[in-house]
Structure formats: structure tokens, C-alpha cells
Chain A
Amino acid sequence: MKQFSPGWTLIKLYTFLVYLFLFAPIVVVCVLAFNPKQFGIFPMEGFSLRWFVRLMHNDAIIEAFQNSLILGSLTALISTGVGILAALAFIRFEFPGKNTLNTLLLSPIMIPEVVLGVALLLFLRWLQLPKSFALLLIGHVVLTLPYVLLIVQARLVGIKKEYEEAAKSLGANAFQTFREVTFPLLLPAILAGALFAFTISFDDITATLFWATARNQTVPVKIFSMLRNSISPEINALGAVMIVLTVATPLLAGYLSRRFSKLKT
């Protein structure tokens, strides 16, 4: 009955409006990417792929894409590796100062990225090292580590310790137990964590703007510098490519993992 009450209808309507608010700007970016005219925004004057073609011939943007992809993949790899080890320590062992250390490792979520950006840059300056790709990489690992840790920990709590103990009692050593028992059970969380780390790194702008150089630009940094002039269909086209990439990847991964888990059982 509640589904048909006027109150519920209002709630539905309100939710719809909030959705409209959240999605209209994103949809409009994708639509305007096909706008053939050079200046102004609306009205659309037809449908054209010229801005996408131009993007493909823009070496600086292609390079930024390569940088972003490599950076995101390496960040995901390192962050997930480090995160799994830390999660194992927190969930499977007892040691003094556990809660404090857990909070410390999660703290980058609550520290403004601006401060992180400045801090790491300052440290580098004190060490008299130039900005480099390595700075972006270690910076992004710090940014993404807490999320990976949270995701892997949540899953690890749900994996019964008895499975691991059974493997050990059958003669497996610690590494074999991890490889044969814990890792396969943990895999969904590992993939989710890696994907999350990749997207955060791929999309990050606030801290990255402090760390990037002219030679090590990522796509968001490129968009930022293009925005200095004004918004253009070219920026919208680049935005549309980014949206499709970062939205489609997790959706596809989620779909595939569901598909595979169905096949197995």
C-alpha cells in the first residue's frame, strides 16, 4: 500500500529530480561533444565527429592518455599489493596499537588532497629532487591505498578462518594457504579494489595538479589547462571519452564477474 500513497509518489518525484540534477550535466557533456560548431555552447548545429577526430590527431592528448593509463595501472597494482598485505595483518593477527595504525592508514581519506599535494611536493623539494612520473605514482598510491584497504578488509572479515586452518592442518605452508585458499576467495575484493584504485588515479585532479609537469600530464590535467581559455566542444569530446572509459570499465567488470560466477556454479 505504501507504494501507492501520495507521500511515496512525492518521494519518487524528488528522487527523480535529484537524479536529473546529478546526470543532466554529464549527459549534456556527452551530447555537446558531437556539436560541430566552434564557439558558444547551445544550440546544437547538427551532429559531427570532427572533435573526436581532432582529439585522435592531437599528440599531446594521446600522450596524456598514455600517461594516465600507465599511471592508473601501476597505481592499482602497487596499491592493491600493499593493501592486501596490510589487510591480512589487520584481520588475521592481533598486535599492539592495531586500531591506531588502522586509523593512520585510513587517514588519507580525511586529509584534504591539497595538503597532501603540497606536503609531498615540499618533501621532494627538500630532497632536491625534480618533479617526475615517480612522484605522481607514489602520490597516487598514498591516495588510493585507504580505499583498497577498506574494500579488501571488508571481504576478508567475511572469509572464515577455518578454511585457512584446514589447509594448514593438511600440510600447506602459509604461502600455499594464501595462494590456494585465501587469494581465490578474496579475488572479487581484490579486483574491486584494483579497479577503484585505477579510477581514482585516472580521474584525480586536485593533488595531481600539484605533482604534474609539462612532460608528465594526465588527461584531467590536460582538460584543466584547456579550460584556461574557455569551454569548447573539444573539451566536451575529451570529457565524453573519459566518462565512457571510467564509467564503462567498472560496469563491464561487474557484469563479467557476475557472468563468470554464474558459469562456475
Chain B
Amino acid sequence: MQTDGWKPWALLAPALSAVFFLLVVPVCFIVVYSFWLRAPSGADIPAFQIGNYAKFFVDLFYPKILFRTIRIAFETVLLCVVMGYIPAYFFYRSTSRFRKVFLLLVMLPFWVSFIIRTMSWINIMGDSGLINHFLLRIGLIEAPFSMLYNEFSVLMGLIMYLLPFMVLNIYVSLEGIDKSLLEAARSMGCTEWQAFREVTLPLSLPGVSAGCLLVFVLTAGTYLPPMILGGPGNEMIANLIFKRIINTLDWPYGSAISVILLSLLFAIVWTYNRYLGINQIFKSFQGNSS
């Protein structure tokens, strides 16, 4: 490897300046702004006070939304693991010649816009949606029952968005397992199930945990499913940010909530990286390309 001084820096200059000026500096601005004051006239006054943070924690209203966000993120992670592991295992073990097609299909939702995937649930779960229509037709119910605008429908939207990430992460780590290990286990008398439990499952855990982290982070930072599929009681922390910034133009408070969200996620990612290493996550995106 060369160690010549300026060349790599010249190549890196555009990318580094983009990320520095468009990400690092703006994020610093959020932190600075979160200490500012908002005048009754709506103007922002430079200041250094913790009023915005105090407002968040003054009663249980906002912390409740924070806890709900964490709870919903955990539920989403759990459901994604339960729904995602078996399909990933299927792609890994399948010998069908359509295996590549199956894998491509699970990636297909990645290419469909998030807003379409979210709103598509209204067609399925709405009062005159597919499920109600079907149940009315077969006479199981007399009047449509409402399935939308609760935590369940929000979770459906979130899973639709995040499940492919989980499947991909698990699949990439399964694919990295040396298949001769399985043969060795089988030849030593393990049953199929024992071989899975003792060899495949433990070796696929890095992919599972990488998928969990990614799904958790993406869930905690999203506002679209609660906004479109949820009711007033299902708001998450990103919805608060959206409201403060877009609807009420309360920049300092919106910034403070962003900092709270960012610190929560940073703490989680940092802890994860400390003990498990974060590179596994990036692997899945590289596998995705080839």
C-alpha cells in the first residue's frame, strides 16, 4: 500500500466536504439551536438556557411519547426477527433454481416508495378495504370493523418498511457460514434440528443483531407510519419533531427534541459498536448490490 500524502485527501475532498458541511455542521447547529429561546412573536433569540429540555421533561406528556417510541421500536424489532429469520433461512438452504428470483423478490419492496408502502395498508385494512370486504362477503361480520389508526396498523406499516432490511442482514450472515460445518455436524450424528441449533443459529446471530440495530434505529426515527396509519395516541418522537418544525415553526424546541432522539440513538449505536462492532450492518448493503 502506498502512503503518499496528498493524493487520497484530494480524492476524499468532495465527499468529506459534503458530509462535513451538510451533515456535521448542521447537526452541530441543532445542538446550538436547542438552547435558544423562542420569542412570543415567533422569532428565535440566541441564548443559552435549558428551557427547551425542561419543557420536555416537565410532565409525563413528552417522556411518554419517548417511551412509546422505544416500545414500538422493540416490538418492530421482535416482529421483524420472527417474520424475517425463516425466509432468510429458506433462501440460504433452498436449492431451487428460482432461489435468486426469490431473493430478488424480497428486495423488491426496497424499490417501492415508503409513502406508497405505508398508504397501501389503507387499501387492505380500511373500512371498505380488502379484509373487511372479504369478511363481509363471507358473512362473518355484519358491519365493517375498524382496524386502522391504532398501534397495530402502525406496526404493520413499520414491518412492511423494515422487514426487508432484517431478512437481508440475516441472509448475508447465513450465507457467510461454511456449509461444510453443517455437514460435519450431520456426519457426527446431529439431527437436522440439532445441527441448526448448535451450528447455524449461533453463527447467524451477528446478522440478527445487526438487523435488530438497523431496524431499531430506523423505527425510532420515522414519523410516516404513525402519521398515516396511526391515531392521535400513536405518535412517536419523530412526529413531535415534524409538528414543531413544520406546523408550529418552533425551531428551538424542535431542535431540542431532535437532540434527545439523536442522543438516545447515539447511546444505543455506541454501546452496540463497543460490544459487537458495527461493520456487519454495512456488509448487508454491499451484498445487496452484487
Binding site for B on A (CB under 8 A): 2-3, 5, 7-8, 11-12, 14-15, 18-19, 21-26, 28-29, 32, 40-43, 81-83, 85-86, 88-90, 92-95, 101, 103-116, 118-123, 125-126, 138-139, 141-142, 145, 147, 149-151, 153-155, 189, 192-193, 196, 199, 202-206, 209-210, 219-220, 223-224, 227, 231, 235-236, 239, 242-243, 246-247, 250-251
Contact = CB atoms under 8 A, between A and B. Distances in A.
Interface centre among A5, A14, A115 (most CB of B within 10 A): A115
Contact of A150 (B106, B245, B289): B289
B241 A118 contact: yes
Contacts of B128: 40-42
18 contacts: A2-B192, A15-B102, A19-B106, A22-B106, A22-B160, A22-B164, A23-B108, A25-B123, A25-B160, A29-B116, A110-B269, A111-B262, A112-B262, A118-B30, A151-B286, A153-B286, A220-B115, A231-B123
B60 interface: no
B35 interface: no
B119 A231 contact: yes
B3 A95 contact: yes
Given A86-B11, A122-B251, A18 B241 contact: no
Interface residues of B, number: 93
A141 B18 contact: yes
Contact of B123 (A29, A145, A220): A29
Given A11-B89, A125-B251, A101 B12 contact: yes
Given A112-B261, A114-B238, A150-B289, A139 B221 contact: no
In the A-B complex, the 5 residue pairs with the smallest Cβ-Cβ separation, listed nearest first, are A112-B221, A119-B26, A25-B120, A93-B8, A42-B133
Contact of B133 (A43, A95, A125, A206): A43
B222 interface: yes
A227 to B, nearest CB: 6
A88 to B, nearest CB: 5
Contacts of A118: 30, 241, 245, 254-255, 258
| Chain A binding surface SS class | helix
Interface string B98-113: 0000101110110111
Contacts of B205: none
Contacts of A107: 19, 23
B97 interface: no
Interface of B: 1-5, 7-9, 11-12, 14-16, 18-19, 22-27, 29-30, 33, 83-84, 86-87, 89-90, 93, 95, 102, 104-106, 108-109, 111-117, 119-124, 126, 128-130, 132-133, 159-160, 163-164, 192-193, 214, 217-218, 220-224, 228, 238, 241-242, 245-246, 251, 254-255, 258, 261-262, 265, 269, 278, 281-282, 285-286, 288-290
